[in-house]
Amino acid sequence: MPSPSIAAQAYANLARLTEANLSGNREIAAGESFGSLLKGALAGVNEAAQNADRQAQALAAGKANIVDVVTAVAESEVAIDAVVAIRDKVIQAYEDIMKMPI
């Protein structure tokens, strides 16, 4: 089960994106490219996976609570699922572009 902090962050990001689209402002912040957005997202996924790993190691050492470990693993799983969904959409968009007649 995802933690409330991840859900709150996802809702905040969705609200920010929706607000930008509704106002007609589709520009990316100055100096921010698609590559940098993707790099930041992957860094977040990596951080979540490392946190889950640290929690699991702490549990094995008897220093962590099982609830904290399960929460960290669930957060990591949600982040990885999001990256996989984005990857699938990017591949689908690429394939659609390649199928377009010239």
Complete DSSP assignment for 43-89: HHHHHHHHHHHHHHHHHHTT-S-HHHHHHHHHHHHHHHHHHHHHHHH
Q: Enter the pTM of the model.
A: 0.62
pLDDT at 25: 47
Range of the structural domain that residue 42 is part of: 4-99
pLDDT at 8: 63
pLDDT along the chain (102 residues), means of 10: 61 58 52 82 91 94 92 92 91 95 87
Instruction: Report the Cα 13 to chain-centroid distance in Å.
Output: 11
Number of domains in the chain: 1
Q: Which two tokens stand for residue 22?
A: 């509704």
pLDDT at 7: 61
Write down the residue that tokens 């996924």 correspond to. 45
